[in-house]
Structure 1
């Protein structure tokens, strides 16, 4: 009886077996009404929490530091790029054809134009739009120019211009020698030598490194256009059959006189002689027949015997015009032939002052020739020397 009475509390035994512990005392009614606590997950230690915070703070500090350094660096770079440069005086700077930005930046620093090639290179690259480049050429950089100003200059292409001047009256060969000697030009001369009279005397602007052949092309195009324009405005009564004869006569006028107010008068003399079937008797044609495009040596006079030498250009021997020009005539000489003076003059001779005296009759011309010879005799006792004076000094004996 006693043993069975101890099992009348089955709940207590189940609770003990379920919990795996010893017997549990029954709860009081008050305790039974209290809610049981929900089990909590395990909590991190205070130490682990502190390490995470420290790491996150480090990352934040690093990011802020990098941003601050980047801002300071950007400010320094842009200030340096726009600040006055180290160049003390104006200087020339050459950008060769095909040079890249790195090469240009390095050359600028070596020349003392910019203080830091890397800053110039990277900032300039960021400024450039698609297709923009620093252009080849020679530039004048102003003293203390900033990197920004240097970039603008090299991008503009406003490089220094040089001038090649071709005087009136040079032959093609003499012009080629002059072009070859110009050290600002580059490249060989054209293999095909242009015909005499086809290059326009003028001043041509170019940048350092321009090809010599390019200047020749400009001369050819300019002369062709000039000849066409002047020929279209010629006197309708002009006894010239084509443009070759037109340029040929203009080249003779060019060599006969350098005075602007005489060219049209000289042209009228030659045209009058052509109309009458007279020989032109022009000394420059004799010289071209003897020496060609090389020209007469400065210390070589023209002798009476030279006037009798048979060449295709010797107008003391041939009738009419020579087969082609004897030099490259300029605009004034071409216009003088296209619009000559209206005169009856058939002769002219030097007057001793750089000009000429003209005559319409042989008698008057002979008097002028004698006057000229007296002047020559005072300067040179060698009577065999003609001195290369134009216009037919010996017209009195030849006609």
Structure 2
């Protein structure tokens, strides 16, 4: 009898062991097979959240098929150290892949971002959310801290634990504009002792933390521009009419302000290089404008004849060679263009009405191009269309144009 009972117990134990092994194998397979997500999802891990709660959350969001299996798998893999933040989980991610996303750490990959865009004309605070379905950001709040009241909801977003911050300095913005804008950024702290030298800040996008020091951010911008200039100076073309990195920065800033068309930068640079080589004056409006504004904002109008005739250090219609300093912060592409310009015979250019320019070799060709541009301006004026005084591109249409 006891032998029969023992035999039955052994059989039951083997069956249970077999079932347990099958269950473990099934669980392991569930952990690595594609998950139920039909489209990307943004998963937010709260500060201090535990594995049990996150497992339930993931199942509720439809990110994983079974929260219990996910929790057991995470503990078995010894990866239960969750990282606070918001993370984008791709479609059909397995539990193993989801675990890697939320425990790997690093910057959040979705959720809310505040991007402070410091432009040539205005600085705008832009709040945007990543749409998991399209993997694109959607703007929810936008305002100019210098002129607009703080919109409802902005401070709540700005003070949320997982909101990310970014400062983007546009190509062609001046150092004064950068400093003025940074002083208005409520998410930064610290005093700015002095405006950095013109041209010394690298236009780029900088990820920062709430409470970051303004001075340290400017120092990072300066260090990045120094590295860019140093690298490109070493790779410069031979025979350029500039002898120092500072002169390269000055020429690059003029190129930056003269064209907004990426493909034109090297051609525009060639015009100024040819003029310098031939002893011609640069005769470029942006330098004159800088001499009037000192880089503190935009002129907002065309130049007057008296301003073009005035002899100032920045009036390249009146002085020979380069102005004494850069007139803006040039981006890497403009520095590269200044140091490696196209080989062209051009010494003239004028707006062509598209935002680009018509280039000429002779004064006669140039005068004909200028005449065409003046005709375009007259036609636009008759229709109530305004042209950008620098690029010649259409900037807005008035009611008369409608």
Residue pair 2:349, 2:357 contacting (<8 A) in 1 also: no
Alpha carbons of 1:386 and 1:336: their partners in 2 closer, same or farther (altered >3 Å)? Answer: same
- SS of 1:138's equivalent in the other structure is strand
Q: Which runs of 5+ in 2 are unaligned?
A: 1-15, 111-135, 138-165, 393-402
Q: Which moved more, 1:169-178 or 1:342-351?
A: 169-178
Alignment counterpart, residue 296 of structure 1, candidates 295, 298, 305: 298
Higher relative contact order (CA 8 A, sep 6+): 1
Alpha carbons of 1:293 and 1:110: their partners in 2 closer, same or farther (altered >3 Å)? Answer: farther
Aligned-CA RMSD value? 5.4
Q: C-alpha displacement at 1:246, in angstroms?
A: 0.6
Partner of 2:338: 337
- SS of 1:285's equivalent in the other structure is helix
Partner of 1:268: 270
Q: More helix per residue: 1 or 2?
A: 1
Q: C-alpha displacement at 1:365, in angstroms?
A: 3.9
Q: C-alpha displacement at 1:335, in angstroms?
A: 2.6
- SS of 1:139's equivalent in the other structure is strand
1:169 counterpart = 2:172: yes
CA distance in 2, matches of 1:137, 1:332: 35
Q: More strand per residue: 1 or 2?
A: 2
Q: TM-score, normalised by structure 1?
A: 0.56
- 1:293-324 deviation line (CA, Å, top 9, x unaligned): 45427x64444344356665343354432332
CA distance in 1, matches of 2:48, 2:56: 15
- SS of 2:188's equivalent in the other structure is coil
CA distance in 2, matches of 1:364, 1:149: 63
Residue pair 1:344, 1:360 contacting (<8 A) in 2 also: no
Partner of 1:95: 45
Q: C-alpha displacement at 1:110, in angstroms?
A: 7.8
- 1:113-139 deviation line (CA, Å, top 9, x unaligned): 67998997787456426xx73234421
- SS of 1:92's equivalent in the other structure is strand
CA distance in 2, matches of 1:291, 1:97: 48
Q: C-alpha displacement at 1:242, in angstroms?
A: 1.5
Residue pair 2:255, 2:268 contacting (<8 A) in 1 also: yes
Residue pair 1:160, 1:208 contacting (<8 A) in 2 also: no
Alignment counterpart, residue 285 of structure 1, candidates 254, 276, 287: 287
Q: Which moved more, 1:226-235 or 1:98-107?
A: 98-107
Partner of 1:255: 257
- 1:132-179 deviation line (CA, Å, top 9, x unaligned): 732344212357867655333212347527997765434456667999
Partner of 2:120: none
- SS of 1:230's equivalent in the other structure is helix
Partner of 2:126: none
Residue pair 2:175, 2:198 contacting (<8 A) in 1 also: yes
Give the length in aligned residue pairs.
317
Residue pair 1:287, 1:295 contacting (<8 A) in 2 also: no
Q: Which moved more, 1:350-359 or 1:163-172?
A: 163-172
1:376 counterpart = 2:372: no
- 1:346-381 deviation line (CA, Å, top 9, x unaligned): 4332234432232344x5544443443333333337
CA distance in 2, matches of 1:273, 1:316: 12
CA distance in 2, matches of 1:386, 1:120: 60
- SS of 2:323's equivalent in the other structure is coil
Residue pair 1:109, 1:117 contacting (<8 A) in 2 also: yes
Q: Which has the larger radius of gyration?
A: 1
Q: Which runs of 5+ in 1 are unaligned?
A: 1-67, 392-399
Q: TM-score, normalised by structure 2?
A: 0.56
Partner of 2:324: 323
